[in-house]
Structure 1
Amino acid sequence: MADHLPPLREPDLPRTAKVRPTALRTGWTTGACAAAAAKAALTALVTGVPAVEVEIGLPAGRRVRFPVARCDLDAVVRPAQAEAVVVKDAGDDPDVTHGAELTATVAWCEVPGLALEGGPGVGTVTKPGLGLPVGGPAINDTPRRMIGEAVGEVVDVATVGVRVVISVPGGEIMARRTTNRRLGILGGISILGTTGIVRPFSTASWRASVVQAVRVTAAQGERTVVLCTGGRTERAARTLLPTLPEVCFVEVGDFTGAAVTAAVADGLTGVVFVGMAGKLAKLAAGVLMTHYTRSKVDLSLLGAVTAEAGGNERLVAAVSTANTGRHAYELWEAAGLLGAAGDLLCHRVRAVLRRFAGDAVAVDVALVDFAGSRVVASSGRWVA
């Protein structure tokens, strides 16, 4: 394992992350705004009255209200349709889609159910590895569910057919400032979000909140902290370690290095890291601050893991040229190598984190699937 250990790196934060030491304002994801726009447009279509405000539910159960910037009803065309716009407020996160006009055009259709489509400014998926059908709109799973739930609060789609087209004026220009093209998402932005809420992950205050959360764990007398990259990984971690209290689970975002440093400083004796393939690949390469502007998935490392797990030359080559970390994961899964390759990847991450933390804490690592529903690989033991 020593031959595999890369140099440890904790890249500096983006410039925008350093300018505000105080807590920053959260905002709303494109997915939440799209769901709100869809509900506003459908409400207008049903009632004949343009909506000025709309309330939707977020995945965690919280309900929030959004102002509707524009809502138009066109009863002349057949079938009748309505269009609503919700302007994205990203809070204080330096988000390229801040101010984007999430637009939903809604009409009835003959077949019961929700027909969700992407319009101008929403990217089209052209490569595998994103968990979305190639050729379809870049609207991720959680936003799709949110839109479906928002529509379902107005009509019963089991008996009524509704067509919803999500578009973003200027989305193609916004996408030039993202990594979409490299990932094979062309023609616009992605409709994203797993919680509906934009937290300023790239800010110094978010890093400080991660450190604070670890310190709270220690202050409660707990000895183990479970570091999760986001909401889905936290759900999987809680299932994996059900006896640990809620305070032990910390969403670290990109700041794994800061969290581990805090764990050591506050005398914790165990760290469990739970993540998905892309984050684990970055950590395995020695990158402790994994913000997308400061690090990329090292596909050659994943190729080396594939070879070590017994993959043939064709699979090694495919993984080494994969589109994303998720794509590499899917290639392992299709080849029946997910368990073996995933375990090796977890062991590499464990070695990196142990070297970073020193001997003061025990470290374990788990790889979860992209739904956050199950652990598919691990470093083999649990400190909890």
Structure 2
Amino acid sequence: MTRKPQTELRRGWTTGACATAATKAALVRLWGGVFPRDVTITLPKGEMPSFPLALAEAGAGWASVGITKDAGDDPDVTHGALIVVRVSASAGGVVFKAGDGVGMVTKAGLPIAVGEPAINPVPRQMMTDVVAEMALLYGQSPDVVIEISVPGGAEIALKTWNPRLGIAGGLSILGTTGIVRPFSCAAWIASIHRGIDVARADGLVHVAGCTGATSETVVQAIYGLPDHAMLDMGDFAGGMLKYLAKHPVPRVTIGGGIGKITKLAQGAMDLHSARSQVDFGGLARMMDNPRLADANTALEAYQIAGPPLAQAVADAALAQVTARFAGIAFDIVVIDRAGAVLARAGI
């Protein structure tokens, strides 16, 4: 979440929607003999977008279609990726396969079983429905192998949470609505939830949520935590903590810079600068130091009050999360921009 939209932003389409469109177009060629110029699909909530074909190839008993993903105005790392589907006859039913650039599930806790291609349930259902629709239209048996590839997907996946979630070798085919909503908080929070699911399924007893890359590196080094124990909390402390309250892990560390941890200490659960602010008057009262009321940033407040402020913030943040989310042992790590630990609480 790097900027606040000032005007209405253009929506895009998920990898799952693109794969569904590619499946439909490939089946038109396989069973109908001619590739369409473009293809229209129906999304789960009834919208009917059309997709132009970026690739169209066929041979004896197979057809392949590529759709270029358009993520709209969202800064999605898969924007512009080519989602390629090859269809052919199966021995029975719809069979999904991971081609080049699509990952395989290697850890429990995800909605897809270990050993399966990383194609999520809703896209699977959308493609299965398209197979049934096209089979009825062309008088064919709905027994199809759907192999999905994303050229360059293995490299793109390194920029995602997939390696941490136990998805090896490439991207996931995602989407619950088929629509990419620009700068969607829901998408980030859903990824945090999947990280918690994977950690719990692996039996981890200690996870950590951090506000950024520096605090994550520091916290992981302090506790020697594995990668899949590190939850990409970012600004969404509430999104992480509310899910942990229903799906608990015994111990949770929260790490971050003094500005964001100060907001947490003052009760904020969304730590983004556009949605919560440090109460400097509150800091002045907490530290009994009137000078803090005139500070412009939490860092400036720290420069005025020194280490006691960082410790007070850590203690207050610990009190906030402990009071609101009982049954979990929390600890707090506050760092500066260089990654030096300023204070810890709950250890």
- Cα shift at 1:129: 2.2
User: Is the CA contact 1:50–1:73 (under 8 Å) kept in the aligned structure 2?
Assistant: no
- What are the Cα deviations for residues 136-162 of structure 1, in whole angstroms up to 9, with x where unaligned? 211111111111122222015994311
Which of the numbers 356, 360, 375 marks the counterpart of 2:268? 356
Q: Paired residue for 2:89?
A: 108
- Cα shift at 1:295: 8.7
Residues 325 and 36 from structure 1, CA distance in 2 versus in 1: closer, same or farther, beyond 3 angstroms?
Answer: farther
Q: Paired residue for 2:118?
A: 138
Q: Does 1:62 align with 2:47?
A: yes
Q: Paired residue for 2:156?
A: 174
Alignment of 1:143-222 (within 5 A): 143-156=123-136, 159-201=141-183
- Cα shift at 1:192: 1.0
Q: Does 1:42 align with 2:22?
A: no
Q: Does 1:82 align with 2:45?
A: no
- Cα shift at 1:102: 0.5
SS of 1:31 mapped into structure 2: helix
User: Is the CA contact 2:107–2:165 (under 8 Å) kept in the aligned structure 1?
Assistant: yes
4+ runs deviating over 4 angstroms: 156-159, 275-281, 284-287, 292-296, 338-345
- Cα shift at 1:130: 1.9
In 2: Cα distance, 1:85 partner to 1:323 partner: 33
SS of 2:124 mapped into structure 1: helix
Residues 81 and 158 from structure 1, CA distance in 2 versus in 1: closer, same or farther, beyond 3 angstroms?
Answer: closer
User: Is the CA contact 1:139–1:191 (under 8 Å) kept in the aligned structure 2?
Assistant: yes
Q: Paired residue for 1:124?
A: 104
In 1: Cα distance, 2:67 partner to 2:228 partner: 32
User: Is the CA contact 2:119–2:173 (under 8 Å) kept in the aligned structure 1?
Assistant: yes
SS of 1:41 mapped into structure 2: helix
Q: Paired residue for 1:71?
A: 56
User: Is the CA contact 1:129–1:325 (under 8 Å) kept in the aligned structure 2?
Assistant: no
Residues 341 and 98 from structure 1, CA distance in 2 versus in 1: closer, same or farther, beyond 3 angstroms?
Answer: closer
Residues 167 and 340 from structure 1, CA distance in 2 versus in 1: closer, same or farther, beyond 3 angstroms?
Answer: closer
User: Is the CA contact 2:164–2:227 (under 8 Å) kept in the aligned structure 1?
Assistant: no
- Cα shift at 1:186: 1.8
In 2: Cα distance, 1:141 partner to 1:95 partner: 21
- Cα shift at 1:90: 0.6
SS of 1:43 mapped into structure 2: helix
In 2: Cα distance, 1:68 partner to 1:324 partner: 40
Identity of aligned residues (%): 43
Q: Which has the larger radius of gyration?
A: 2
- Cα shift at 1:278: 5.5
SS of 1:40 mapped into structure 2: helix
Gaps of 5+ in 1: 1-12, 208-228, 231-252, 255-274, 301-319, 327-337, 346-351, 359-363, 366-384
**What TM-score comes out, normalization by structure 2 length?**
0.56
Higher relative contact order (CA 8 A, sep 6+): 1
Q: Paired residue for 1:29?
A: 14
Q: Paired residue for 1:323?
A: 228
Equivalent pairs counted in the alignment come to 238
- What are the Cα deviations for residues 16-74 of structure 1, in whole angstroms up to 9, with x where unaligned? x25x5322211010010011101110111110001221111111122221111122221
In 1: Cα distance, 2:112 partner to 2:74 partner: 26
